[in-house]
Structure 1
Amino acid sequence: MTTGSSHTSRPTADGGGISTFKGQERALRAGRLGTGGLLLSVLAATAPLMVVAGVMPTTFAVMGIVGQPLLFVALGAVLVLFGVGYAEMSRHVHNAGAFYAYISRGLGGTAGASAALVALVAYNALQVGIYGLFGFEVSNLLTTYADVTVAWWIPALAAVAVVGALGWLKIDVNARVLGVLLVVEVALVVIFDVAAVADPAREGLSLHAFNPDTLGGAGIGTALCFCIAAFLGFEQAPVYAEETSRPHILVPRVMFLAVAGVAVFFAFSSWALTVAAGPSAIVGAARKESAGLLFALTESRLGTTFTDVLHVLFVTGMFAAMLSFHNVVARYAFAMGREGLLPAAFGRTSTASGAPATGSLSQTAVSLVVVAAFALLDDGPAGDPTAPVLHLFTWFGNVGALGVIVLMAAACLSVIVFFARRGAVAAQAWRLVTSALAGLALLVIAVYTVKDFDILVGVGPDSSLSVVLPGIIGLALVAGLVQGAVLRSRRPRAHARIGLGNEAFQLEKAAEAASKECLPGDGAGPALRTGDGAGPVPPPVTRE
Structure 2
Amino acid sequence: MSSDTSPRGAGLRRGRLGTAHLVFFTVAASAPLTVLGGGVTTMYAVSGNTGAALSYLLLAVVLGVFAVGYAAMSRHVSNAGAFYSYIANGLGRAGGVSASFVALSAYNAIQIGLYGLFGAIFGDFMATKFNVELAWWGWALLAWVVVGLLGLLQVDLNATVLAVLLVLECAAVVIFDAVAIGNPAGGQISFAGLAPENLFTAGFGAVLALGIASFTGFESGAIYSEEVRDPRRTVARATYIAVAFTGLFYALSAWALTVLTGPENAPAAAAEAGPGVVFGAIAEYAGVLIADLANVLFITSVLAALLSFHNGVARYAFALGRERVLPEFLSRTGARTGAPVAGSLTQSALAIVVVLAFVATGGDPVLDLFTWLSGVSAVGVVLLMTLTSGAVIGFFGHHRGTGESAWQRRYAPALATALLLAVLGVLVGNFDALLAPDSPSYLSWLLPGITGIAAAAGLAWGAVLRSIRPADYERIGRGATEPVGDRVDPELALTR
Q: TM-score, normalised by structure 2?
A: 0.94
Give the alignment partner of residue 372 of structure 2, picking from 395, 398, 409: 395
The runs of 5 or more residues in structure 1 that have no matched partner are: 1-21, 379-385, 509-538
Q: CA deviation at 1:495?
A: 1.3
Superposed CA RMSD: 2.0
Distance 1:70 1:389, change over 3 A: closer
Of 223, 228, 234, 1:244 maps to 228
Which residue in the other structure is 1:500 paired with? 478
Q: CA deviation at 1:459?
A: 4.8
The equivalent residue for 2:208 is 224
Counting only pairs closer than 5 Å after superposition, residues 261-276 of structure 1 correspond to structure 2 as 261-276=245-260
Note the alpha carbon deviations across 1:80-131, whole angstroms, 9 max, x for none: 1000000000000000000010001100000000001110111000100000
- In the alignment, does 2:353 pair up with 1:369? yes
Partner of residue 304, structure 1: 288
Deviation of residue 211 (structure 1)? 1.1
> In the alignment, is the contact (CA less than 8 A) between 2:120 and 2:366 conserved in 1?
yes
CA apart distance, 1:425:
11
Alignment-mate amino acid for residue 401 of structure 1? A
Determine helix, strand or coil for the equivalent of 1:97: coil
- Structure 1 residues 433 and 540: alpha-carbon distance in aligned structure 2, compared to 1, 3 A threshold: closer
Partner in structure 2 of residue 350 of structure 1: 334
Distance in 1 separating the partners of 2:439 and 2:176: 37
Kindly, what percent of the aligned residue pairs are identical? 46
Residues 2-401 of structure 1: pairs in structure 2 closer than 5 A:
25-202=9-186, 204-378=188-362, 387-401=364-378
Q: Distance in 2 between matches of 1:159 and 1:451?
A: 34
Instruction: Note if contact 1:493-1:540 (Cα within 8 Å) is conserved in structure 2.
Output: no
1:500 and 1:543 in contact (8 A); partners too = no
Q: CA deviation at 1:455?
A: 2.2
Q: Which amino acid aligns with 1:387?
A: D
Aligned: 1:464 with 2:442: yes
**Does the 8 Å contact 1:95/1:238 carry over to 2?**
yes
Q: 1:196 touches 1:272 (CA, 8 Å); kept in 2?
A: yes
Change (3 A) 1:448 1:260: same
Are the structure 2 counterparts of residues 215 and 148 from structure 1 closer, same or farther at C-alpha, using a change threshold of 3 Å?
A: same
Indicate conservation of the 8 Å contact 2:49/2:202, yes or no: no
Q: Does the 8 Å CA contact 2:8/2:322 hold for their aligned counterparts? A: no
Q: How big is the shift at 1:451?
A: 1.6
Of residues 412, 416, 435 in structure 1, which corresponds to 2:393?
Answer: 416
Deviates more, 1:187-196 or 1:235-244: 187-196
Given that residues 274 and 282 in structure 1 are in contact (C-alpha distance below 8 angstroms), is that contact kept between their aligned partners in structure 2? yes
Instruction: Report the CA distance between 1:189 and its aligned residue.
Output: 0.8
For residues 321 and 69 of structure 1, the distance between their equivalents in structure 2, rounded to whole angstroms, comes to 22
Structure 2 equivalent of residue 516 of structure 1: none
What is the CA–CA distance in structure 2 between the aligned matches of 1:461 and 1:430, rounded to whole Å? 44
Partner Cα distance (1:459, 1:416) in 2: 41
Question: Which is further off, 393-402 or 197-206?
Answer: 197-206
Q: Give the C-alpha shift of residue 454 in structure 1.
A: 2.0
Structure 2: distance between partners of 1:467 and 1:50: 26
| C-alpha distance in 2 between matches for 1:426 and 1:182 | 36
2:486 and 2:298 map into 1 onto residues whose CA distance is 51
Counterpart secondary structure, 1:192: helix
1:404–1:221 distance in 2 versus 1, CA, 3 Å: same
Indicate conservation of the 8 Å contact 1:23/1:30, yes or no. no
Q: Secondary structure at the match of 2:385?
A: helix
| Alignment of structure 1 residues 467-486 onto 2, 5 Å | 467-486=445-464
Contact 2:106–2:380 (8 Å) recurs in 1: yes
Q: Deviations over 1:187-244 (max 9, x none)?
A: 1110111122222111522111121101132421221111111112220001001111
CA distance in 2, matches of 1:499, 1:414: 12
The whole-number CA distance in structure 1 between the counterparts of 2:439 and 2:162 is: 39
Q: 1:15 maps to which residue?
A: none
Does 323-332 or 480-489 show the bigger shift?
A: 480-489
The alpha-carbon deviation at position 387 of structure 1 amounts to 2.3
Task: Give me the whole-angstrom Cα distance separating, in 2, the residues matched to 1:422 and 1:542.
Answer: 8
Query: Offset at 1:461?
Result: 8.6
Kept in 2: contact 1:133–1:390 (CA 8 A): no
Give 1:399 shift. 0.4
Instruction: Tell me, yes or no, if the aligned pair for 1:221 and 1:445 is still in contact at 8 Å.
Output: no
In the alignment, the residues of structure 2 paired with residue 163 and residue 34 of structure 1 have an alpha-carbon distance, to the nearest angstrom, of 22
Taking a change above 3 Å as real, the CA distance of residues 243 and 423 of structure 1, as seen in their structure-2 partners, is closer
Cα gap change, 1:452/1:424 in structure 2, threshold over 3 Å: closer, same or farther?
A: farther
- Scaled by the length of structure 1, the TM-score of the pair is 0.86
- Secondary structure at the residue paired with 1:281? helix
Bigger relative contact order (CA 8 A; separation at least 6): 2
In terms of fraction of residues, the more helix-rich structure is: 2
**Structure 2: which 5+ residue stretches go unaligned?**
1-5, 491-496
Question: Which residue matches 2:424?
Answer: 446
Which residue identity is paired with 2:78? H
Report the number of matched residues: 484
Conserved? CA contact 1:106–1:415, under 8 Å: yes
Distance in 1, matches of 2:153 and 2:225, equals: 18
